[in-house]
């Protein structure tokens, strides 16, 4: 079977090999689909499929795609919500006319339980997915959790809430136990923080996270939005004045605008591939912050972490994949030391992570088998442990 994979990354291998070191912000955003965290779930899908796939782009000739491939696999993100219209997806998939599997689809809402309104184009997309099933009686969508499946079901589509594929980037068994052991043997305490969104109400956390970076010899890992990447790359002159005003307010602890610019250039890091991100994470004791993949990738490298959830998406992803999480309103008034200690792992965190990950591996294997997709044997081993 010839499987074609569609991602939201743009020539990412070429970018890493030839452009990354000197790329500007626009280059980074284009290559990573607007958020560097996208490289995580794409890597997870590649691991699941092994080498049995080719790359398809949304703009490829439909007739050529239909002729060359037997099935498509779509790398999804939090695309079910008022913020995205999937009419374009519906149109292209209709013309590709192939059995299609959707992995990692998420719904976005202010909190779990609130079903979001979605555009008509997204409703059309969801209705179309049922006609693209390899087996008419088996769901062809894996969502990021129960809430996303509940949202999808409200529009008449069944799905499987098995979580983000990034949980299977590592094929190590008992990964939770390895994370706890890493925390216990670390002699030099360093904390990696996953920067949040300065335009979200949870931006109250950012001053504490930047203080943790300084006190615990850490780094401030960026994913999105574009303005933070611009600061880190020394492109502050390109920022709009209203963006400057907001950033001055959010990062007031650091100092005036000149100090904020210098701080970002010194302490910010970001990645265009999951492997380097994971490898770099091994230098740290713990990863914390409001970005799910900023915590999930270190865990895949054997470094414990806790997600400070800021919306339904981050909370759902964390719960579904077994990553410890806390809502930001519960910790936004904690000091740096208190927050770090609160986020450290214990035995229950490790055992729960391993148990959830094994169950999800079993479910992923069953889902992919029902959809006629061969699974990498190393992923199968996670389900059998």
SS3 labels along the chain: CCEEEECCCCCHHHHHHHHHHHCCHHHHHHHCCCCCCHHHHHHHHHHHHCCCCEECCCCCCHHHHHHHCCEEEEECCCCECCCCCCHHHHHHHHHHCCCEEEEEECECCCCCCCCCCCCHHHHHHHHHHHHCCCCCCCCCEEECCHHHHHHHHCCCCCCEECCCHHHHCCCCCCHHHHHHHHHHHCCCCCEEEECCCCCCHHHHHHHHHHHHHHHCCCEEECCCCHHHHHHHCCCHHHCCHHHHHHHHHHCCCCCCHHHHHHHHHHHEECCCCHHHHHHHHCCCCEEEECCHHHHHHHHHCCCCEEEEECCHHHHHHHHHHCCCEEEHHHCCCCCHHHHHHHHCCCHHHHHHHHHHHHHHHHHHHHHHHHCCCCCCHHHHHHHHC
For residue 342, the domain's CATH number is: 3.40.50
Using 50, 70 and 90 to split pLDDT, how confident is the model at 212? Answer: very high
Residues 324 and 224 placed together within one structural domain of the fold: yes
Residues 343 and 364 placed together within one structural domain of the fold: no
Q: What is the pTM of this model?
A: 0.95
pLDDT digits (tens, 9 = 90+) for 282-294: 999 999 999 999 9
Q: What is the pLDDT of residue 112?
A: 75
In this predicted structure, the answer to whether residue 266 has a pLDDT above a threshold of 80 is yes
Q: What is the pLDDT of residue 9?
A: 94
Using 50, 70 and 90 to split pLDDT, how confident is the model at 375? Answer: confident
Residues 315 and 339 placed together within one structural domain of the fold: yes
When divided into structural domains, the chain yields a total of: 2
For residue 81, give the nearest of 133, 44, 126, 49 by alpha carbon: 126
Residues 120 and 250 placed together within one structural domain of the fold: no
Which domain does 142 fall in, by range?
Answer: 3-168+356-384
Residues 211 and 339 placed together within one structural domain of the fold: yes
Residues 307 and 289 placed together within one structural domain of the fold: yes
| Average confidence score pLDDT of the chain | 95
Residues 188 and 321 placed together within one structural domain of the fold: yes
pLDDT digits (tens, 9 = 90+) for 344-355: 999 999 999 999
Residues 184 and 48 placed together within one structural domain of the fold: no
Residues 11 and 124 placed together within one structural domain of the fold: yes
In this predicted structure, the answer to whether residue 111 has a pLDDT above a threshold of 80 is no
pLDDT digits (tens, 9 = 90+) for 47-57: 888 777 899 99
Residues 226 and 311 placed together within one structural domain of the fold: yes
For residue 86, give the nearest of 152, 36, 135 by alpha carbon: 152
Residues 283 and 307 placed together within one structural domain of the fold: yes
Residues 283 and 179 placed together within one structural domain of the fold: yes
Using 50, 70 and 90 to split pLDDT, how confident is the model at 89? Answer: very high
Q: Look at the chain and count its residues.
A: 385
């Amino acid at each position: 079977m010839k499987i074609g994979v569609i991602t939201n990354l743009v020539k990412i291998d070429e970018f890493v090999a030839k452009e990354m070191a000197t790329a500007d912000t626009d280059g980074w955003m284009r290559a990573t689909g607007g958020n560097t965290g996208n490289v995580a779930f794409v890597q997870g899908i590649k691991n699941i499929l092994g080498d049995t796939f080719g790359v398809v782009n949304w703009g490829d000739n439909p007739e050529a795609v239909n002729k060359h491939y037997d099935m498509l696999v779509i790398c999804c993100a939090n695309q079910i919500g008022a913020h995205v219209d999937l009419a374009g997806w519906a149109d292209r998939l209709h013309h590709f006319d192939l059995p299609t599997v959707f992995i990692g689809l998420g719904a976005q809402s202010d909190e779990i339980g609130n079903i979001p309104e979605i555009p008509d184009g997204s409703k059309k997309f969801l209705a179309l997915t049922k006609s693209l099933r390899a087996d008419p009686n088996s769901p062809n969508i894996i969502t990021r959790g129960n809430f996303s499946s509940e949202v999808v079901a409200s529009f008449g589509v069944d799905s499987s809430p098995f979580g983000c594929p990034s949980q299977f980037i590592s094929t190590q068994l008992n990964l939770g136990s390895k994370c706890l052991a890493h925390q216990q043997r670390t002699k030099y305490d360093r904390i990696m923080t996953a920067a949040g969104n300065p335009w979200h109400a949870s931006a109250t956390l950012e001053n504490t996270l930047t203080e943790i970076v300084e006190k615990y010899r850490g780094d401030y890992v960026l994913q999105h939005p574009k303005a933070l990447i611009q600061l880190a790359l020394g492109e502050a002159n390109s920022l709009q004045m209203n963006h400057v005003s907001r950033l001055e307010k959010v990062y007031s602890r650091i100092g005036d605008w000149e100090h904020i610019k210098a701080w970002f250039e010194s302490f910010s890091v970001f990645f265009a591939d999951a492997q380097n991100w994971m490898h770099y994470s091994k230098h740290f004791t713990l990863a914390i912050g409001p970005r799910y993949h900023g915590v999930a990738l270190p865990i895949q490298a054997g470094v414990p972490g806790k997600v400070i959830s800021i919306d339904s998406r981050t909370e759902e992803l964390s719960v579904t994949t077994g990553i410890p999480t806390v809502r930001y309103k519960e910790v936004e008034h904690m000091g740096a030391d208190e927050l770090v200690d609160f986020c450290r792992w214990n035995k229950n965190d490790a055992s729960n992570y391993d148990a959830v990950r094994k169950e999800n591996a079993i479910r992923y294997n069953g889902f992919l088998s029902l959809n006629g997709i061969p699974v990498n044997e190393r992923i199968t081993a996670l389900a059998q442990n």
